[in-house]
Amino acid sequence: MIPVQPPVIVLVRPQLGENIGKAARAMLNFGLIELRLVAPRDGWPNPAAGPAASGADIVLERAQVFDTVADAVADCAHVYATTVRKRGITKPVVTPEAAAGAIHAEPGRSAILFGPERSGLETDDVAVARTIVTVPINPEFGSLNLAQAVILIAYEWSKGQALAQPPETELPVAAPQDELDGMIAQLDAMLVAANFFFPPHRTATTRRTLRTLLTKPGWSTQEVRTLRGVLSALDGKKAKRDLSSS
């Protein structure tokens, strides 16, 4: 089976180096490393791109520059244009999810075009593509920044890849029941001393509510010890205050 080639990300006439860097960061987050730039406004390399890429240096170092969209996608069998509007061109329109599925299924290289920050792709840019990619978006505010647009596509592509998952945080072992009972008993004794349980006929219900509350979080042994230390400190402070006032 021929391995699927990751799509090429093509930024058409990008304006700010910072946005190129942020797009590179979004790409590498989801396993894409081939970036092509078409006539970047401020030239290339751009010193503003590096800090914005936050470590995605491999993407920037391998970035290629082209004069035209046609040159940038000359070796690609499938070209997608990201745009909110069809711009009067009759082409298939798909979602990022559908585009990603097609890229995984189709042999040959794929390229995805993203327009300049201010205006997006021009009609002539879209004309080079075979398919338009768009997302359902708020009709009153359809503006995505460049990195947001790239990350939408890159994320959908990544669903078909074996990327490492974020490390799971190991949960502490829950405290045994006798430790919880000791903590609850300590609190109960303090509440009795403070005349908390009033009126008397509500004492059983209140104690039940407190037990339910204190057994919900799944306390660890360390958490139980910490809270018991807090209770002991409060109880000791109260005892000192009572002695000083007597």
pLDDT over 80 (residue 3): no
C-alpha–C-alpha distance, residues 25 and 58, integer Å: 10
Q: Are residues 30 and 147 in the same domain?
A: yes
Identify the domain boundary among 158, 185, 215: 158
C-alpha–C-alpha distance, residues 226 and 222, integer Å: 6
Residue ranges making up the domain that contains 120 = 8-158
Structurally, the chain folds into a number of domains equal to 2
Phi, psi angle pair for 130, to nearest 5°: -100, -25
Give residue-wise pLDDT tens across range 81-108.
Answer: 998 765 566 788 999 999 999 998 888 8
Q: What is the mean pLDDT of residues 114-131?
A: 90
Does residue 140 form part of some domain? yes
Q: Are residues 129 and 222 in the same domain?
A: no
CB-based contact 76:111 (threshold 8 Å) = yes
Identify the domain boundary among 92, 127, 158: 158
Q: Are residues 106 and 218 in the same domain?
A: no
Measured torsion, CA atoms of residues 210, 215, 220, 222, in degrees rounded to the nearest 10: 10
pLDDT of the residue at 245: 61
Phi, psi angle pair for 117, to nearest 5°: -55, -40
Q: Are residues 49 and 101 in the same domain?
A: yes
C-alpha–C-alpha distance, residues 24 and 13, integer Å: 15
Q: Where are the alpha helices (DSSP H) in the chain?
A: 17-29, 49-53, 57-62, 69-72, 96-105, 123-128, 146-158, 177-193, 203-215, 221-245
CB-based contact 191:214 (threshold 8 Å) = no
Q: Are residues 39 and 88 in the same domain?
A: yes
Q: Is the dihedral of CA 121, 123, 128, 130 positive or negative?
A: positive
Q: Are residues 135 and 202 in the same domain?
A: no
CB-based contact 227:185 (threshold 8 Å) = no
pLDDT of the residue at 213: 85
Q: Are residues 69 and 134 in the same domain?
A: yes
Does residue 119 form part of some domain? yes
Tokens of 235: 């109880």
Q: Are residues 72 and 147 in the same domain?
A: yes
C-alpha–C-alpha distance, residues 220 and 106, integer Å: 51
Q: Are residues 61 and 95 in the same domain?
A: yes
Give residue-wise pLDDT tens across range 125-158.
Answer: 999 999 999 988 887 887 788 999 999 999 998 8
Does residue 168 form part of some domain? no
- Which residues are 10's β-sheet partners? 36, 113
Cα distances from 202 to residues 188, 207, 213, 214, in angstroms, run 14, 9, 17, 18
Rounded to two decimals, the pTM is 0.68
pLDDT of the residue at 66: 97
Q: Are residues 88 and 206 in the same domain?
A: no
Tokens of 58: 């491999």
Does residue 172 form part of some domain? no
pLDDT over 80 (residue 193): yes
Does residue 99 form part of some domain? yes
Q: Are residues 87 and 197 in the same domain?
A: no
Q: Are residues 147 and 230 in the same domain?
A: no
Tokens of 135: 């997302």
Q: What is the mean pLDDT of residues 35-40?
A: 97
C-alpha–C-alpha distance, residues 69 and 167, integer Å: 40
